[in-house]
Amino acid sequence: TRKLIILTDPGQDQAAAILMILGRTDAFEVLGLVATAGNIHLDHTLDNCLKLMELAGRPDIPVFAGCPQPLMRPLVIADHVHGPTGLDGPVLPKPAIRAQEKHGVDFIIGTVRALPGEVTICALSPLTNLAVALRKAPDIAEKIADIVAMLGAYFEVGNITPSAEFNCYVDPEAADIVLKAGIKTTLLPLDVTHKMLSTPARLKAMRALGNRCGIATAEMLEFSEAFDLRKYGWEGAPLHGPCVPAFMLAPEIFAGRQINVSVELAGRVTLGMTVADWWQITDLPRNAFWVRDGDPALYYDLLLQSLGNLP
Ligand code: BDR
C-alpha cells in the first residue's frame, strides 16, 4: 500500500477524492489529512475533513489544521462554487471527532522524517502547508517519495482567472517553492480534469450505489457542479480531485509528459498561471509530469468501484 498525507480544502470534488482513497484500503494507507485554507476558510475546511472521516467510518484517521492563509497574499475563496460551508449539498452531522493538537506543517515534517522515501503527498488543495514544511525543514525534500497534485492549467486555461487554476492562484508562491524543490511531482491540471465530466448518467450510477457515501457524494457533486454546468454549458461538469487517486491507482489510463512547469508570480493578468513547456522550448529543469489526457469512462469506473466499498 502507498502511504499518503492528504492536503485538502474540501470542497465537494475533493470529498469525492478522499472517499475514493478511503475505499481502496488495498492500495492506500492514509497517515493523516492536513486541512488547508482555500475553497473556504480553515475553520470550515477542518470541520469538513472531520465530517468526511465520520461519513466514511474512519474516525481513526488523524486530521490536522494547517495555515489559515496563503504565504504572501490574502486568501481567495470559492464559496460561489462550494457554498458557504465549502461542502454544501448533503447535510452532514456536526463532527464528534476532534482535530489533532499538532500543527499540520509539523505533522508533515515529522511523518516524512519518520518514514523517509515512503510518503506520497497527495495534494488536492493549494500547496501552502507543504511549502511551509519545506522552508521549515528543507531536509524533507529528499525524503518525500513523491507528490501527486491537482494543480494548474495550460491548454485549458484558467478557472478562477482567465489564465490561472484555483489551487495555484490561491498560493502561487507556495506552488513555486514546491515545484522548485526537486521532488518527483505529477500534476493533474484542468487540461485533464476538464475531460472527466460528471454526466447525469454517471451521477445517477453513483447515487444508485445506495450506500451513504455514494449518495452523499452524488449530492455534493450535484451542488458544486451546478456552477460549472452553468458556466461551461457542457453535458457534465469537470471532476477535479479524484484525478489524483485515479492517477495513483491506474496511471495507464492517463497520458502526459515530463516537462518544465513554471509559476507566474508577477504577471499583471497572469498571476498564478502554470506555464507548461509542453514543446520543450527551454532548457529549464523538467520538474513535473504534466498530465494532459485521460479516459473518463475508466476514471468513473474506478471512482464508483471505490465508493462502493464504503459504508
Ligand atoms: C480546484 O479548485 C477547487 O475549487 C477545487 O476543489 C479543486 O481543488 C480546481 O481548480
pLDDT of 214 reads 98
Give the residue, out of 14, 154, 187, 191, with the most ligand 1 atoms within 8 A of its beta carbon, to mutate for a pocket test: 14
For the CA of 160, the closest atom of ligand 1 is 10
Q: Using alpha carbons only, how large is the chain's radius of gyration in Å?
A: 18
Distance CA 75, CA 121 (A): 22
Tell me the pLDDT tens digit for each residue of 15-56: 999 999 999 999 999 999 999 999 999 999 999 999 999 999
pLDDT of 1 reads 97
The single residue listed with the C-alpha cell 525534500 is: 141
Q: In what order do the strands lie in the sheet with 28-35?
A: 63-65, 28-35, 2-8, 119-123, 144-149, 185-187, 288-294, 254-259
Nearest to 253 by CA among 286, 206, 302: 302
Q: HSE (CB half, 13 Å, CA atoms) of 15?
A: 35
Burial of residue 51, with CB atoms counted within 10 A of its CB: 0-12 exposed, 13-18 middle, 19 or more buried: buried
pLDDT of 184 reads 98
Q: Is the ipTM of this complex over 0.85?
A: yes
Residues within 6 Å of ligand 1 by CB: 11, 13-14, 39, 78, 81, 124, 150, 159, 165-167, 240-241
For the CA of 193, the closest atom of ligand 1 is 9
Q: 2 — phi, psi (to 5°)?
A: -95, 130
Biggest CA–CA distance in the chain, Å, is: 53
Tell me the pLDDT tens digit for each residue of 75-103: 999 999 999 999 999 999 999 999 999 99
Distance CA 188, CA 190 (A): 7
Assess contact for 18 and 222: CB atoms under 8 A: no
pLDDT of 310 reads 98
- For the chain, which residues score pLDDT lower than 50? none
pLDDT of 74 reads 98
pLDDT of 237 reads 95
pLDDT of 276 reads 98
Nearest to 30 by CA among 61, 70, 9: 61
pLDDT of 281 reads 98
- Looking at the chain, how many residues does it have? 311
Give the residue, out of 125, 148, 217, 239, with the most ligand 1 atoms within 8 A of its beta carbon, to mutate for a pocket test: 125
Residue 149, helix vs strand vs coil: strand
Distance CA 119, CA 89 (A): 32
pLDDT of 220 reads 97
Nearest to 13 by CA among 203, 186, 248, 211: 203
Q: Give catalytic status of residue 80 as yes or no.
A: no
Assess contact for 304 and 218: CB atoms under 8 A: no
pLDDT of 280 reads 96
